[in-house]
Every structure is written in C-alpha cells, then in structure tokens.
Chains A and B, each alone.
Chain A
Amino acid sequence: MAYRQVLDEAAPQWQKDRRERGAQAGTLPAGSDGPARFELALPERPALLGRRAWIALAVLVAAVGVGVPLCALVLPAGHPLHLSAYGMTLVGKLMCYAIAALALDLVWGYCGILSLGHGLFFALGGYAMGMYLMRSIGRDGHYQSDLPDFMVFLDWKELPWFWHGTEHFAYALLLVILVPAAVAWVFGFFAFRSRVKGVYLSIITQAMTFAAMLLFFRNETGFGGNNGFTDFKRILGFGITQPETRTVLFLTTFAALVLSFLAARAVVTSKLGRVATGIRDAESRLMFLGYSPLGYKLFIWTLSAVLCGIAGALYVPQVGIINPSEMSPVNSIEMAIWVAVGGRGTLFGPIVGAFAVNGAKSVFTTHFAEYWLFFLGAIFVLVPLFLPRGIVGLLRRGRAGDAA
C-alpha cells in the first residue's frame, strides 16, 4: 500500500491521468501470453503467502515431518500404512522433479524464457553430488582402490584435478550450487546480452545440453562415460540404502521443495519479479522505459539453474545412479511439459504437473509400456491446445465459475 502511495505522490499529473484512463480501457494486444486485461496502476504487491496458505503449509509440513518417519520406520512392513522403500524413492524422485519444474517455471512462466536445457543443470548438480558419493565408496569398490572404479578400469593412476576435494561433503554441496550457477551465468550472459530470445533461445539451450551430453559420454571427460556414477555405498558415513537414511533424504527433499517454493514465491512477488514478468509480457516496452533486461533475466536464470542443480543433487542419492542420458534433450523437453500440464505462471502448477505427468509415467511404464510415448505425445499436443493454463488454471476457472 505504502509502495503505491509513494508512487502516486511522485508521479506528475499527466501520468496519473493516463493511469486512470488505462485502468478503464487498457488491454494487451491479442496473441500475447499475458493476462487479457491489465491496469496501468501497479496492483498491490501480494504477501509472501496468504494466512490460509501459511496454515495449510504448516499442516502439510507437520504431517509429512511426523507421518513419513512414522510410516516408514515405526510401522512394521505388513501394515497397510507402511511406506515401502519403493514408494518412498518414487515420491522422493517426484519431489526432485517438482523442484526442477518449479525452477523451470521461474524462467518460463515468469520471465518468458523457455529453456529446453534445464536437464543439464539438473545433471550437473547430480554429478557434483555423485562425485562425493563415489569418493565416499572408499576402498569398498570392485577394484578395492582409492580411485573410483571407472578410473581404475581406464587405468588412470591419479585423480584428475577437478576431483580434488570432492571427498568433503561441504565442498560437494558448494559444487552443487556453484557449477550450475557458473554454467548458467556464462551461457545466460552471452545469450541474453545478444538478445537471443524466444524459440531461438529454446533451441540453443537444447543444443547446449546436447553438447554437454556428448561431452559427458566420453570416457576421457572424467565422469565415468556411458555408465556415469553408480553403486554408491554411503552418504556421510550412513549406508545409503538404510531405511533411516532414505527417510532423512526424503525429508530433506521435502524441505528443499518447500523452501524452493517459498524462495520462488519471494522472488516472484518482489519488485525484481515484477520486472521479470514485464520482460515476459513486453520486453521492448520495458526497454523503452529504461530497464536493461539483462541483469533481471540473468538473475532469474541463474537462480533457476541453482534450484535445478539442488534437485539433481537430491535425486542422485535416492535413485542411486547418474549418467549422461539425464542430459539428453528429451529429458529437458519433458520438464517443460510438466510445467505446461500443471500450469505455468503459477508456482503451485509445476509441482502438480511434475507429480501428475511422472505419476502417469510410472503407471504407464509398468502396465502398458508401449503406449507411454503415445500418451506423452498426446499431452504435448493436447495441453497447449485445450488446457493452455494447465491443471491449476482449470481448477481456478472452475472456482471462478462457482463463484459467478
């Protein structure tokens, strides 16, 4: 409120007039992705979360925080409410995907940049964590060497320089954040500076992850080639397949998801987030107003890459493998469809979408595997046609319809 008052007092009379006129009659040009109506006066800045949302979140956190350890560790295996290792890994995996989808939505839904290369950041985070996990195998590997097995297999005598220090968990965590951030920043700097945008940018991001995949497929690159990393034994000294470790990983992932959601929400509702939305809807207008989009885009883009890297880092210890196929362009495109299905431009949507699409994938691949690609293809075609605002948009419209 205060924000708007300051603006009102500072603005010259003609601006106030225009703002009022615009509020009465303004519409965005047809075909733009933005909302159908807009007000020239800045709408009020929403709170981080509404009161009901805070309560719902608190209840959810409490339920998961108590319920999951209870169901997984305390209840015996035969109990109907027992959470099996399979179920926990599955949901943990879905939550990682949800974080990645959230990250992608930040750039696509709020900044208008459709990245088809977020699988790269996901995999980079995963590889950084994987390096730590490989090192913590110690001498328990197949060749009983200090070096990871694949290096012994390739007849390497010592660790390459970029593996130094990866035996420390804290350093690995640092890498999880810094590596995707650095790659994203450099790529984004060059791409955004030369104002590459739209479909152009999408394809170039895809080329980026494709090139990285080719690079990681080579044995000489030093990340295990085709096979990547697997056969992890322990994390921080705890056996990686122990139910307790799994539960902790699950809860960590859940916490990461909640925190990512709050962080994304904070960014989106901030002033920076609004400028980003402006870039999405009409970049050239924003530039005429004196904004340089580069910094805004770069910040959101890098933040998104970091979130994606964190998702990848949580994914690897739960799934137990990371290899270059995570970087294949198809994986990154699938991420985009999670966001589209859930509803882009909302923060809740991508989480719903990731769960819905990947849930469907689990069902399909176990029951009718050969139709999965048909189903996936059909979602890609039908969702933009008939469900442009995704599941969340559908629910909202339903609620609006009820109210009217």
Chain B
Amino acid sequence: MRIPALRWLVCGLLCWHAGAAALTAEDLQALAGDDYASKEQALGALATDPDPRAAALLQALSDGDAAVDAAGRIIIGSGAASADTLAGMPVSEGEAAAAEPIMLNNRLRSLVERGIAARRLFDQDLAQRRAAAEALLANPDARFRPLVERARMTEADPDIKSRLDALWAMSALNDPDPEVQLAAIDLVVARRQPELRDLLRPLAEPSGGHETDARVRAAARAGIASLDRWQWWGDLAATLFSGLSLGSVLLLAALGLAITYGLIGVINMAHGEFLMLGAYATYVVQQAVQRYAPGWFDWYPLLSVPAAFAVAALAGLLIERLVLRHLYGRPLETLLTTFGLSLLMIQAVRMIFGAQNVQVANPGWMTGGIAILPGLILPYNRLIILAFSLAVVALAWAVLNRTRLGLFVRAVTQNRDMAACVGVKTRKVDSYAFGFGAGVAGLGGCALAQIGNVGPDLGQGYIIDSFMAVVLGGVGQLAGTVVGALGLGMASKLIEPFWGAVLAKIAVLVLIVLFIQKRPQGIFALKGRSAEA
C-alpha cells in the first residue's frame, strides 16, 4: 500500500501546485484566434497544466464541444449543460448557441488527445495508465516530459514503468544537460528496447554532428553496440525457436510416415489426411465439451488427444485392411491409390463439415507466453507442442522398442521374409503398425489444431515436407526422423530471413536432393544386409 499512498501524496502536491499556477484568461486567449502556431503553443501549455479545469477543457475540445463567444469566454459543453470554463459558471443556452466553435486541425487534435492521455498516467486504474502510456508512446512529445517524469517516479507496474522509461528517455536524450543525457542512454541500454536504438544514432555521430559532448557520443556509441549485440542474440533465439517449433510440427507429421514407410515401403500420400482427421476429431471434442460441460473446457485436450489418436488409427486400420493390403509389392500403384484415398477423405470431410475452416480454441492455460527478451515472446501453445511432440516420440520409441508388437514391427522392417519364416504374422503386424502410424499422425493433427486453422486441406501442405524429413533422417529410423524434422525446420527458418519464405523452401528442397546424392540412405542409414531392398 506504500505506493498508492505515495501517489495520493503526489496528487495532492499537484493540486497545490495547480493553485499556484491557476489557469488564466491570457493562457486561453490564443485558442480563440485563427493562428494555429499560437494555438498549438497554448494547447501545449494547457495539455501539461495540472489544473482540473484544463482537463475539462481538453475533454471538451476532444469532443468538439468547446466554443468561444464574443466576449472571449471559452464555453464548454453543449445545450443546457454549457458552462464557462474559467468561471465554472453555467451559461444560458442562447449564449452557448451564439458562441463560435473552436476549430482544431489534426495536429492539434492529436495534441489534445495526448494531453488527455497524459492526465491518465496518474489514474488509479492499471488499464487506464497503460493505455495512457501507450498513447504517448505512439506519438512521443517532449512537452509531456515533466508529467512523464513524475509518473515514472510513482509507477509500480513494471510493464508501464518500462514504457514510461522509454518515453522519458526519448525526450531526455536531447536534453542540454549531458548528465541527463548520459542517464537516458544508460536507461535505454539497460532496457534493451531495440526500438529506442535509432534515437541513439544521432548522438553517436562523430564530432561535427550536432552532439558536442564527447562523453555522450562515446556512451551512445557503446550503447548502440550493446543494443546491437542484444538484438543479434534476440533474433538468433527467435529464429532458433521458430525453427524448433516448425520442426516439432514436422516431427509430428513425419513420425507416423516414418513408421509406415519403413515398414511397408509405401509413401502414404493420405498421411496428411490422418493429420486432418485428428484435427477434426479435436474440433468435435471441443464442440462437445463446450456444449455439455463448459466448466471443463480447459481440460478438453485430455479427451481430444485420445480421440484424435483413435479416429485416425481406426481410419488407418480400415484403409490398410480394405485397400492397401491388396497392393503390397506394387509400391508405385500404392502411391497413386493413397493419393486417391486422400482425395476421398478430403471431399468427405468437406461435405460433412463444410469447406470453410473451423476454429479450435486454445484452452486458457495454453494462451499467452513467456517474454524472454523485449520483442521475443515464446507462446505457450508452441512450447507445449514442442513438449508434446517429444512425448509422442517417446511413446513411439517405447512402443517400437519395449513391446512385443514393436519387436515384430522392427523384425518385419528389417527382413519381411525372414520374420515370416520365424512365425511373425506379418500381415497382422502390417495392419497394426499402419494403424499406429496413422494414430500418431492423428496426434499431430490434434496439436496442429492448437496453432492454426482446421480445414479440409490441412494435411496437404505437410506431405512433401514430412517425407523430406523422413528421407533426410534415414528411412525406418526414429532418431533419424527426429533429427531430420528438427533440422529441416531449423534450416528453413535460418534461410528464411535472407531469401524469403518461398526461396527458402526451394533452397531446402534443392539441398535435400543434393544431400541424397551424397548419402542416399539418409543421415542415419540402416546398416547390414537388410538395408538394400
């Protein structure tokens, strides 16, 4: 409670101060005139004048309710509520109607708005203070420096304080006193706000520029260097994070593909559609929870994750049983068939749910993010998806390496005939593995629904990229897929700032084709006699 008390104290001081410099008729005279330059000067004084009458007048000016009558009195309000600003006395409606409205141009109007905003810097309401600081930052004005300086002393909220600091530094950087300038530079550097960097630049100009104090110049130069360093690290961290994030999404898409491709040697062109089914399953679960148990809405992912897995796995099992099993040994035709299946699934979903995208809302605990540096915020949903994809990898690893089914899958992947000879029911293993791969894709869809729109075409964009991840990593290798997907995501995001998204994509494709020249079996090649099919 110490801080609000202090604020009240300051407010009291302000009021006392107001009494000392009361609003006078001369102050306002220029407002009535036609000269915009003197009008601006008068408004500037008015905007920073702590007198409550000044506040009322500003509000009236903003509302277009200020007028000046023949006697030079400024009348605010309209109709029966009109009053003389200085005297505070009501005026008659007739007099009010006769008064000439005060004209403002855009420049003056924005000054008025800032004047109103500056007053709110001392508001008790946090949101009001934040909005005020925001408004002043949008259009910095040295005239408000005293106000900002006072507000800065008393502000308790760190976010608003940092904005006020920025505001103060903006005006203080050009202060005639070098000590103030140095303090402002220190502040800018300490805040690490990249948008303030450009303000330092004129100060850092070598002698002959308009800054004369050598200490200030040196400090500004050092400040710019330090900010640049931070900016570089910040950019790098942001790039790496977005690369990881893209990689985790690719990983979810590629994991199932790696299992099915490794096992039956078929690129499943309908794999993206299992993602799409998972995403729609999430959507349906979300709608149902919202409708029947709105109180539990935050926990719907607990239901949607298994639902997405189940729906996609079931679809995968059906497809394998009904279609793909009859095409084993004809990989190219299987490729075409799976493409046909993807068309069928897309069109079916389009007819059931409509061609428009549907919205899947994030549960409350997934919104927001952690701000690591100014301008670098890691959204929770991306972080959670990163963790989720790693969890799915762990699950896939556990299934493949710690269960009997996994043992069979690995055996069939390595040598189908030999596995059959020692009694593995390869057909059954194929079905289950295909279903499992599809289910993993469904999990991916469940995650994708949290970061983007859900539409019938959702999966189409992922098939080439996720296949590239599989190829890059080495077919049939979980570790390879992880490295491939994350590496692909990183590579795309690292190239993007230089060449733009489209050329980055092309460059990545070319790189992969070249990479395959060097290592046709991917980063993690299967070793042994089974490798060459």
Contacts and interface: CB of A to CB of B under 8 A. Distances in A.
A203 B267 contact: yes
Interface stretch (B108-116, B150-158, B503-511): B503-511
A116 B464 CA distance: 12
B341 A381 contact: yes
A206 B341 CA distance: 18
A333 B468 contact: no
B331 interface: yes
A199 B339 contact: no
Given A207-B464, A377-B344, A199 B513 contact: no
Interface string A188-200: 0011011110111
Interface in B304-334: 323, 326-334
Interface of B: 265-267, 323, 326-337, 339-344, 346-347, 351, 464, 467-468, 471, 502-503, 505-506, 509-510, 512-514, 516-517, 520
Interface stretch (A66-74, A211-219, A312-320): A211-219
A198 B326 contact: no
A225 B337 CA distance: 32
A384 B509 contact: no
Given A373-B344, A377-B340, 18 more contacts: A32-B329, A108-B332, A190-B514, A196-B520, A199-B265, A199-B331, A199-B335, A202-B267, A207-B464, A210-B464, A370-B351, A377-B343, A380-B339, A381-B344, A384-B337, A385-B323, A385-B337, A388-B330
Contacts of A108: 332
A218 B520 CA distance: 31
A114 interface: yes
Contacts of B326: 385
A242 B158 CA distance: 75
Contacts of B265: 199
A33 B327 CA distance: 11
B360 to A, nearest CB: 25
A307 to B, nearest CB: 20
A196 B331 contact: no
B330 A377 contact: no
B292 to A, nearest CB: 32
B340 A218 contact: no
Contact of B332 (A31, A191, A202, A215): A202
Contacts of B337: 380-381, 384-385
A200 B517 CA distance: 13
B351 A204 contact: no
Contacts of A191: 513
Given A217-B502, A381-B323, A211 B509 contact: yes
A177 interface: no
B520 A374 contact: no
B517 A190 contact: yes
B323 to A, nearest CB: 6
B502 A200 contact: no
Nearest to B261: A199
Contacts of B464: 203, 206-207, 210, 329
The list of the 3 closest CB pairs from A to B, nearest first, reads A380-B340, A31-B329, A377-B343
Contact of A114 (B332, B342, B502, B514): B332
B321 to A, nearest CB: 13
7 contacts: A204-B516, A215-B502, A340-B333, A373-B344, A373-B347, A377-B344, A379-B340
B468 A198 contact: no
A273 to B, nearest CB: 20
B505 A214 contact: yes
A214 B336 contact: no
A337 interface: yes
Nearest to B342: A377
B502 A214 contact: yes
B343 A384 contact: no
B29 to A, nearest CB: 53
A357 B330 CA distance: 22
Nearest to A371: B347
A388 B328 CA distance: 13
Interface in A295-346: 329, 333, 336-337, 340
